[in-house]
Every structure is written in structure tokens, then in C-alpha cells.
Amino acid sequence: MRLMSFPTTRPRRLRSSPVLRSLIRETELTARDFILPLFIRPGKGEKRPISSMPGHFQYSVDMAVKAADLAVREGIPGLILFGIPDKKDAKASGAYADNGIVQNAVKAIKDKHPNLLMIADLCFCEYTDHGHCGVVKDGKVLNDPTLALTAKTAVSQAKAGFDVIAPSGMMDGQVAAIRKALDGAGHGDTPILAYAAKYASAFYGPFREAAESPPSFGDRSGYQMDPANFNEAMREVALDVEEGADMVMVKPALPYLDVLKAVKVRFGLPTSAYQVSGEFAMIKAAAANGWIDERKMALESLMCIKRAGADFILTYYALEAARWLA
Ligand code: PBG
């Protein structure tokens, strides 16, 4: 592209009125872009605030249905569920139990809202007593033994009524294991949203309180990616695509827009980004101090994530942003 130079060209001409600015705006944000994460806990009538994520709660199944009502009312197309099980153990039994916590929640929500897209986060850190995302032996997270549980969990989630399975454990081969298991169990039409490039990020801090899932020893850098790496993210996405991912995700979002952009351009797949708990909490905390304009900053962040290449965004701002945009 060649431009005439100043004074022939004056970019400010097109910024001179709201109607012109709106006419040439390249990206539009709507409630249809958002997926709302919900945390499900045991019990009845429970709605426990998550202190580091104002406006978010751990819901019992009955209360989660009410939260889903709100999402539907605001035009949010889908939810992603995280479970806090009754009991945690070494085998993550709660993740694939027939009456597991998210299995029960999806049934109740689908009952009332059959058209709401229900996404299952598939990971074990909320279900293991050690808080790691896989089977642990001698202080190591074992890859291949974890895949057997991954396969079982995917089938259990699809059977319970989830529309999309989203593996976030960062085990090698997890997408292939899920595809094979789903196909073998008659769920060949259930798509996989792969957390393809998921970084070992400090931005997950508040989530670990919300999901009661911090690792009891070490950290997740033996399976999640090093924030320093870009090329490795391209390899991770390529592998997931080859294994059968229908959609991919980059996580976190805002600090990784270079990765997001490249994934969208190189692979051309439906691509999502997860604006994670820490990204949300930072805006909330700064707003609580009166340091920034929350609404403007949240919408700007979401707009930039979409501009960089996200077809949809998993965000704790889903409800608020939908209201602001309405
Ligand atoms: C499960 C999982 C995590 C998040 C989504 N799925 C936590 C982690 O990897 O430690 C983080 C989401 C957020 O911070 O909002 N593994």
C-alpha cells in the first residue's frame, strides 16, 4: 500500500465525526462474541463469592441454572463450566463420574436452555488431591497414563450433554485421545476446542482460588508453555490441528496477542482467546481504586483481543460487557 504524503493525506479527516468513525470501524464487539465461565460446587442454594473475582461466585447446580438464565437474557451464546468436586483423589474420579459435578450442572442447564452452547473444560487439577493436571508418580506428572483419564472424561462429558469438549491439561496427545474416544462412543459430532497454546502464567492466580485448584507442590511449567516462547506455540497448535482440533485457543489473551494473531493467520481455524482471571482481576482492582475507567478498559481489552484474531472470547466480563454493549 502506498500513501500520498502530508498534506494530501490527512488521516484525521476520517476521525472528524462519530458517524465517519463508525463507518470505517474495522472491528465490532457484541454479546455473541463472549463465552462466560462458571464455577460449580456441591450443595443447594449456594452462591459463594470469589474474593479475587468480584461479581463471580461458586454456584451449586440450582444456582448455576439461575446464572445461565442471566447469560441467556444478555445474549451470551455459551458457557464453559469448571467443577469443584465433593472429594478430590489421586485418580481425579470426580472428573469422569456419571453424576460428577459438571455432568450434573450441564444436565440441569441444558434442560432449561437447550440452545445455550455448553463447553466442558477438560482438566484434572480441580479433581486431584495434589492439584496437578494429570496422574502423578514420584513427583512427576505422567503424560500417557493421564490420557486414559482424559479419554474417559471426554466421553462422560459428551454423554452428560456438553456440546464442546475443551481440553486444557496440556498433555501431549490429548486431542487425539479425545477424538478417538468420542468417535468410539458415538459422539463423532462433538467438536474439540483445544487449549492449544496455554502458557504457564501468573495471570491464572485468582482462578486457583475460584476453582480451589492450586498445585500442592511445584508448578505447572512441566506441561504448560514458557511465556518466552512463540515458535513453540505454533508447533503446539499444528499438533492439535493434526490430532483433530476443530477450534483452538490461546491463553491468556492480552499479553499474548502476537501469538493469537499468528495462530489465526497461519492456521485459519476458528480461534478463541481466554481473557483469564488475572486479566479480569487487574481491571477490577484498578477500578476499585478509582484509577481507571472500568467499562472503557474492559471493552478496549476485549476489542483488542478480537481485533488481533479472536473469533470468540472466554471472559469473566461476558455479562457486564454484554450489558454495556446493549
Ligand atoms: C485448568 C484451567 C486453568 C484455567 C483454565 N483451565 C488453571 C490453570 O491452568 O492453572 C485458568 C483460567 C483463568 O485463570 O481464568 N487447568
Q: 198 CA distance to ligand 1 centroid (A)?
A: 9
Predicted confidence (pLDDT) per residue in 234-258, tens digit: 999 999 999 999 999 999 999 999 9
Distance CA 140, CA 321 (A): 41
3 state SS for 65-78: HHHHHHHHHCCCCE
Identify whether 41 is part of a domain.
yes
Q: Structural domain of residue 97, as residue ranges?
A: 28-325
- Identify which of 81, 168, 254 to mutate to test ligand 1's pocket (most ligand atoms within 8 A of the CB): 168
Identify whether 23 is part of a domain.
no
- To the query of whether residue 296 is one of the catalytic residues in this protein, the response is no
Q: By the 8 A CB rule, do 26 and 12 touch?
A: no
The residue whose CA is least distant from atom 11 of ligand 1 is 204
Predicted confidence (pLDDT) per residue in 120-129, tens digit: 999 999 999 9
Q: Where are the beta strands (DSSP E) in the chain?
A: 34-40, 47-49, 57-59, 78-83, 117-122, 135-137, 140-142, 164-167, 193-198, 247-251, 271-275, 312-315
The residue whose CA is least distant from atom 6 of ligand 1 is 168
Distance CA 121, CA 275 (A): 15
Helix (H, G, I), strand (E, B) or coil at 135: strand
Distance CA 89, CA 128 (A): 5
What integer pLDDT is reported at residue 270 of this predicted model? 98
What integer pLDDT is reported at residue 182 of this predicted model? 98
What integer pLDDT is reported at residue 150 of this predicted model? 98
Q: 91 CA distance to ligand 1 centroid (A)?
A: 19
Predicted confidence (pLDDT) per residue in 14-32, tens digit: 999 999 999 999 999 999 9
What integer pLDDT is reported at residue 213 of this predicted model? 87
Within 8 A by CB and 6+ apart from 12, the residues are none
What integer pLDDT is reported at residue 3 of this predicted model? 83
What integer pLDDT is reported at residue 123 of this predicted model? 97
What integer pLDDT is reported at residue 269 of this predicted model? 98
User: Pocket residues for ligand 1 (CB within 6 Å)?
Assistant: 121, 123, 125, 133, 168, 204, 207, 220, 276-277
Share of the chain above pLDDT 90, in %: 98
Predicted confidence (pLDDT) per residue in 191-213, tens digit: 999 999 999 999 999 998 899 98
Residue 7 predicted with pLDDT over 90: yes
Looking from the CA of residue 133, the nearest atom of ligand 1 is: 16
Q: By the 8 A CB rule, do 259 and 284 touch?
A: no
Size of the chain, expressed as the number of residues it contains: 326
The residue whose CA is least distant from atom 10 of ligand 1 is 204
Q: 207 CA distance to ligand 1 centroid (A)?
A: 6
The residue whose CA is least distant from atom 2 of ligand 1 is 168
Identify whether 302 is part of a domain.
yes
Predicted confidence (pLDDT) per residue in 154-187, tens digit: 999 999 999 999 999 999 999 999 999 999 999 9
Distance CA 154, CA 162 (A): 9
Identify whether 69 is part of a domain.
yes
The residue whose CA is least distant from atom 8 of ligand 1 is 204
Predicted confidence (pLDDT) per residue in 62-112, tens digit: 999 999 999 999 999 999 999 999 999 999 999 999 999 999 999 999 999
Residue 149 CA, chain-centre distance (Å), reads 21
Q: What is the mean pLDDT of the chain?
A: 97
**How many domains does the chain fold into?**
1
Catalytic residue among 88, 110, 251, 264: 251
Give the phi and the psi of residue 94 in degrees, each rounded to 5: -60, -20
Identify whether 7 is part of a domain.
no
Residue 149 predicted with pLDDT over 80: yes
What integer pLDDT is reported at residue 1 of this predicted model? 77
Query: In this structure, what CATH number is given to the domain that contains residue 143?
Result: 3.20.20.70
| Cα–Cα nearest to 312, from 111, 20, 34 | 34
Identify whether 18 is part of a domain.
no
Mean pLDDT over residues 33-50, rounded?
A: 98
Identify whether 22 is part of a domain.
no
State the alpha helices, DSSP H only, in 101-142.
101-112
- To the query of whether residue 251 is one of the catalytic residues in this protein, the response is yes
Q: 157 CA distance to ligand 1 centroid (A)?
A: 18
Q: By the 8 A CB rule, do 223 and 169 touch?
A: yes
Distance CA 161, CA 274 (A): 23
- Identify which of 153, 174, 199, 207 to mutate to test ligand 1's pocket (most ligand atoms within 8 A of the CB): 207
Catalytic residue among 88, 198, 284, 306: 198
Residue with cell 502506498: 2
Q: 3 CA distance to ligand 1 centroid (A)?
A: 45
Q: 17 CA distance to ligand 1 centroid (A)?
A: 42
Identify whether 245 is part of a domain.
yes
Cα R_g (the chain), whole angstroms: 20
Looking from the CA of residue 278, the nearest atom of ligand 1 is: 14
Looking from the CA of residue 276, the nearest atom of ligand 1 is: 15
